[in-house]
Structure 1
Amino acid sequence: MTTLNLIAIRDGESNGGFYSPAKEKAAIRGPFHHRLHLFRRLRHVAKLKLFLVLFTFCGFFWFFSRIPSSLGWNIHPSSSSFSPSRGGYTVLINTWKRNSLLKQCVAHYASCHGTDAIHVIWSESDPPSASLTDYLNKVVIAKSHTAHKPTFKFDVNEEDNLNNRFKPIKDIRTDAIFSIDDDVIVPCGALDFAFTVWQTAPSTMVGFVPRMHWLGEKKDTHASYKYGGWWSVWWTGAYSMVLSKAAFFHRMYLDMYTNQMPASIREYVMRERNCEDIAMSFLVANATAAPPIWVKGKIHEIGSYGISSLKDHSTKRHKCVNDFVSLYGTLPLVSTDVKAVDARKEWFW
């Protein structure tokens, strides 16, 4: 046997007593292949751990989601939560020559559990037709999911005036008024949540469309203000108004707007055909010295046009804010950055 063969046999004997082709192959591959094999094993273990973490998380999520029902809690408002004895709310719809939108609007709000009554503010020259009235009465009954069916009524006005939407309503059974435009749909779940928020602060306005006022440049030593639209609110998170196109307020403000607010403001709204919603925000802020409450919730605008789509809309709104400040002699609006959020529907809060 040659010296080289003796060395090979002795190496085999020293590593375990026998020659092994597998050991020889491993020796040839060297430490790099060993590290690669180790990396693959670690990657396999990491995948297994990740799967276990996700499985555990899903298990916890399922378990805690079952707790409310097991304890007797109901995260979806039942019809009994808004029985007439607890008030509910009256839906006040402002409409103008858009019967197709009005039909969709009435049908939707009739299906919401909290709706006790629906009133449509009608300011057209011709009264609503008998066929339209009969149709909407049938829709309200058909769409309602409660034993207590909402009442339906047209509040007919002789003149076209934006102030009509805030006239007092006779014989209503609720303190809560939900003011809405005929082209705005608020999902029933969001609406019922906003109603519960309003019940905690019934003297203020609670709504879905926030707006802001900003201090502008002084004019003749007097402060001037600018009206801030949605993008101002989105950028800063601050607001001082919620528009009556989708908002709750107490029915007492209908009487205050019509009979106690300065007549000069109602005349201004009638003349300019704009800003009745800003006037209501001023009225409530002046009465409470408190900000409104913005409720986070998706709303759907089903119309394709309106006052806000006009070219000079922003300019007129700036003017309204400043003119109302002059008529009040002060600025009653109060800014805030507080927002009401339904935590049951939020992943991160």
Structure 2
Amino acid sequence: MLDVMKKLLVAVVVLGVMIMLLASWTLYSDGSNHIARGLTDHISKLYHSASDVGYWPTTHIHGGGVTCNVCVPPPNISVSSAPSLNKKNISSRIVSTALERWQKQVFSTDMDLNTENFTIVMLTYRRESILPKILLHYCETPRLAKIVVIWNDVERVIPQAILNLSNMCRIPLEFIREKENKITNRFKPRPQIKTDCVFILDDDRWINDLSDLTFAFNVWQENRHRIVGFENCMRSHSLNSQGQYTYDQAVPGRGVSIMMTATGLLHRAYLDMYFDPGALLPGGMMKDKDWTMYCDDILMNCVVGRFLELVSWPQPSLVVVKGKGGLKNLERESAKAGGHPGLHVIQPDHYKRRSVCLNKLAGIFGHLPLKLTKIIVKENVKT
């Protein structure tokens, strides 16, 4: 009798182990759970319960020999629950396949956070007086793999003096001359971009302390699915009683919903989404001047927001970073030397145009896929 009970006990234990192995295999064979597993391993301990107000508990990020104190965003999404594709919102099998591919790219865990780096993509138009100073400044950025300069002045060749800057930069400095002057050229997917992280940077933006850019990159590594940018470039939107959206500056207490990509880190998969006709955006959309010249960054924020909705992970498309050294705009310096003064200067109705864009996007998507956030991620500086 005792032998029979022992055998039964062994059988029960073996059966239990088999059930656990089967459950584990099922979990890890599921694509979405596999995608989230590495993220959970890396950062699930970094999230704390908190409401969406003010600054957040700090933790340490170690990367590339740099140790930073980072304010961690609150868990408005669960890191442990993987984003799964919401296929009922997708009408085409082709579109579904594209989204599954992008999902795997954005939520991939196949990287070493300590050695990962990023690429700067800088669109430039008639800013030759400040461009050398700008480029040589960013050439010294830690964790930077390459700078890709998009020459948007289609009427002029790139001056040799500008091309020679590549000999003075410690990293590869590549120039691409465009055939059309479109501001959306900065979002084009390009074979020159080898890193997952792309820092879209205007040719008149000067980050005083380059360690702030390294810090922003560390924050992006924890928020690979969002646009990470500096507080000087955050904007907001509101909805009036007539059901019309308005584009505006950041308003204290309301929060922000748009990151101007004058300084924005984002995953290169979003460049593909931006230009893939029919996947997230209507096929002929890029022929509209509103996107090619006025509202390209608003559109990118909506692409990110819409993608996160489709993978059942709706949340703000942006993360705002506050650096120690501040950010300067050198467009006035450029204008004094005869350079381009900036779109908002030559377009007095700039904000009105961008409000029109918000309402057009709400019509295209059926709603506006932008969400407000009051989070600002700040480096914890010891006093």
> Structure 2 length normalisation: TM-score?
0.62
Counterparts of 1:154 and 1:272, CA distance in 2: 21
* CA distance in structure 1 between the partners assigned to 2:137 and 2:146 by the alignment: 13
Q: Which amino acid aligns with 1:181?
A: D
Deviates more, 1:290-299 or 1:256-265: 256-265
Quote the offset at 1:75 in angstroms.
4.5
Q: Does 1:337 align with 2:374?
A: yes
Which residue of structure 1 aligns with residue 43 of structure 2?
A: none
Shift of 1:293: 0.4
Shift of 1:197: 0.4
Corresponding residue to 2:328 among 286, 300, 312: 300
Structure 1 residues 96 and 74, CA, compared in 2 at 3 Å: closer, same or farther?
A: closer
The residue number in structure 1 matching 2:238 is 214
Q: Is residue 197 from structure 1 mapped to residue 190 from structure 2 by the alignment?
A: no
Distance in 2, Cα, partners of 1:275 & 1:307: 11
| Distance (Å, rounded) in 2 between the aligned partners of 1:85 and 1:193 | 13
Find the partner of 1:167 among 179, 185, 188: 188
Query: Which residue pairs with 1:224 in the alignment?
Result: 244
Task: Give the Cα separation in 1 of the matches to 2:274 and 2:267.
Answer: 12
| Aligned residues of 1:211 and 1:242 also touching (Cα < 8 A) | yes
The DSSP-based 3-state class of the residue aligned with 1:94 is strand
Task: Determine whether 1:154 maps to 2:175.
Answer: yes
Compute the displacement of 1:272 (Å): 6.5
Amino acid at match of 1:302: L
Q: 1:263 aligns with which of 272, 280, 283?
A: 283
Aligned length: 254
- Aligned equivalents of 2:118 and 2:291: distance in 1? 31
Aligned equivalent of 1:290: 315
CA distance in 2 between partners of 1:153 and 1:228 (Å): 35
Question: Does the 8 A contact of 1:162 with 1:269 survive in 2?
Answer: no
Partner Cα separation in structure 2 for residue 119 and residue 214 of structure 1 = 35
CA distance in 1, matches of 2:66, 2:360: 48
Answer yes or no: is the 8 Å Cα contact 1:265–1:324 preserved in 2.
no
Mark the CA change 1:215 to 1:121 in structure 2 (over 3 Å): closer, same or farther.
Answer: same
In the alignment, structure 1 segments of 5+ residues that lack a partner are 1-67, 78-82, 142-149
SS at match of 1:170: coil
* CA shift for structure 1 position 343: 0.8
* CA displacement 1:125-183 (0-9 Å, x = unmatched): 2231333211x202313xxxxxxxx2111122111112211111104331100011000
Aligned AA (1:113): P
Unaligned runs of 5+ in 2: 1-59, 70-111, 309-313, 333-340
- Report if aligned partners of 1:296, 1:340 keep a CA contact under 8 Å in 2: yes
Counterparts of 1:102-251 in structure 2 under 5 Å?
Answer: 102-125=131-154, 126-134=156-164, 136-141=165-170, 150-186=171-207, 187-208=209-230, 209-218=233-242, 223-230=243-250, 232=251, 235-236=252-253, 238-251=255-268
The equivalent of 1:99 in structure 2 is 128
Q: Aligned pair in 2 of structure 1 residues 331, 342: CA closer, same or farther (>3 Å)?
A: same
More helix by share: 1
When normalised by structure 1's length, the TM-score is 0.68
The partner residue of 2:359 within 322, 325, 343 is 322
Q: Secondary structure at the match of 1:128?
A: coil
Query: Residues 74, 240 of structure 1: CA spacing in aligned structure 2 closer, same or farther, 3 A cutoff?
Result: closer
Residues 311 and 191 of structure 1: CA distance in aligned 2, closer, same or farther (over 3 Å): same
Misfit runs of 4+, over 6 Å: none
Change (3 A) 1:159 1:204: same
Shift of 1:215: 0.8
Following superposition, the deviation at residue 76 of structure 1 comes to 7.2
Measured after TM superposition, the shift of residue 122 of structure 1 is 1.3
Distance 1:271 1:255, change over 3 A: closer
1:287-335 CA-partner distances (Å, limit 9, x unpaired): 1122110001221111113112332111111111111111222110011
1:299–1:86 distance in 2 versus 1, CA, 3 Å: same
Q: Which amino acid aligns with 1:290?
A: Q
CA 1:196–1:321 in structure 2 vs 1: closer, same or farther (change >3 Å)? Answer: same
**1:82-123: CA deviations, max 9, x gaps?**
x99822110011110111222122111101112110001112
Instruction: Report what 1:37 is aligned to.
Output: none
TM-superposed deviation, 1:237: 5.4
CA distance in 2 between counterparts of 1:104 and 1:300 reads: 13
Q: Quick check: 2:183–2:292 contact (8 Å CA) kept in 1?
A: no
CA contact (8 A) 2:120 2:198 kept: yes
Q: Distance in 2 between matches of 1:273 and 1:118?
A: 23
Aligned mates of 1:193, 1:76 — CA distance in 2: 7
270 and 158 in structure 1: CA distance in 2 versus 1, 3 angstrom threshold: farther
| C-alpha distance in structure 2 between counterparts of 1:265 and 1:323, whole Å | 11
How big is the alpha-carbon RMSD for the aligned residues of Structure 1 and Structure 2? Answer: 2.4
